[in-house]
Amino acid sequence: NTIDFLFFVCYRALIFPLLIREGKPTPFFTFVLALLFCVFNGYLQGRSLTTYATYPPGWLGDSRFITGILGWLIGMAINIHSDHILRNLRKPGETGYKIPRGGMFEYVSGANFFGEILEWFGFALACCTIESLAFALCTLFILGSRARQHHK
């Protein structure tokens, strides 16, 4: 589970920014808040999984773990594919709003948000810790409100 979390963090922090073309600048205060949240959450998840979480023998074969990992993988695949669709909406130099099509955007207007929410609820199910559930709920409330704004 720690590896899953680290994989996502590496994707979001290292790979994703390199794939973005031109975008809107992020206000410095927003950047600092996001950085602090990520550092605190990363510490909380890592500390929880490496120090406090205990699992019974056979946990990796437990239906909660398997379902959680599948949810995490499906959510990540949706998230990455949706990010790809969003990055390719406009040609270089083009501006204006465009409605994304394809993938999960055919079913939900904020497919990237949906994917990330699914990802972290899968992670929470696989870990079965209060800290991972807290992160999934924070993700739901933060990205859910963003998804609602984007939908409007």
Higher pLDDT, 125 or 28: 125
Q: Are 125 and 35 in contact (CB under 8 A)?
A: no
- Higher per-residue pLDDT: 2 or 73: 73
Considering only residues 121 and 6, tell me which one the structure prediction assigns the higher pLDDT: 121
Q: Quick one: angle between helices 2-10 and 63-87, nearest 10? A: 0
In contact, 126 and 64? CB cutoff 8 Å: yes
Please write the tens of the pLDDT for every residue from 26-73. 788 887 888 888 888 888 998 999 999 999 999 999 999 999 999 999
Of 72, 9, 68, the C-alpha closest to 44 is 9
More confident residue, 15 or 142: 142
Contact 106, 117 (CB under 8 A): no
Reading phi first (left if > 0) and then psi (alpha if -120 to 50, else beta), residue 93 is in left
> What per-residue confidence (pLDDT) applies to 95?
74
Give tens-digit pLDDT for 88-117: 888 877 777 788 999 999 999 999 999 999
If 0-12 CB within 10 Å is exposed, 13-18 middle and 19+ buried, where does residue 5 land? buried
pTM for this entry? 0.81
Q: What is the C-alpha separation between 37 and 35, in angstroms, rounded?
A: 5
